[in-house]
Amino acid sequence: MDNNWTLVVNVGSTSVKTALFTGDLVLKAALNASQNSTEWAIDGQGLDGCAVTASQPLTSPITTLVAGLLYNWRCLLQSAGIKLTAIGHRVVHGGIDFQTLTLITPRFLDCLGKLDAYAPLHNPANRLGISLAGDIFPGIPQFALFDTAFHRSIPERASRYAIPQQLCATVAFHRFGFHGISCQHSLTRAASLLGCDEQALNLIILHLGGGASITAVSAGKSIDTSMGFSPLEGLIMASRSGDLDPAIILSLLQQGWSVQQLDNLLNHQSGLQGLCGETDMRTIISQASAGEDKAKLAIDMFCYRIKKYIGAYYAVLGKPHALVFTGGIGEHAPLIRANIIEGLEALGFCLDAAANQSCQNNSDISQPTGDIRILVIHAEEEHEIARQINNFQSATLT
**Do 227 and 178 contact (CB within 8 A), yes or no?**
yes
Nearest to 365 by CA among 383, 381, 377: 377
> How many residues belong to the chain?
398
Burial class (CB in 10 A: 0-12, 13-18, 19+), 164: exposed
Contacts (Cβ under 8 Å, ≥6 apart) of 35: 14, 15, 58, 60, 61, 62, 65
Burial class (CB in 10 A: 0-12, 13-18, 19+), 398: exposed
Q: What is the dihedral of CA 180, 186, 189, 193, to 10 degrees?
A: -150
Angle at which helices 106-113 and 123-136 pack, to 10 degrees? 160
Handedness of CA 31, 32, 35, 36 (dihedral sign): negative
Which of 116, 147, 245, 371 is flagged as catalytic? 147
Alpha helices, H only, 167-258: 180-194, 246-254
Active site residue 147: yes
Catalytically active residues are: 147
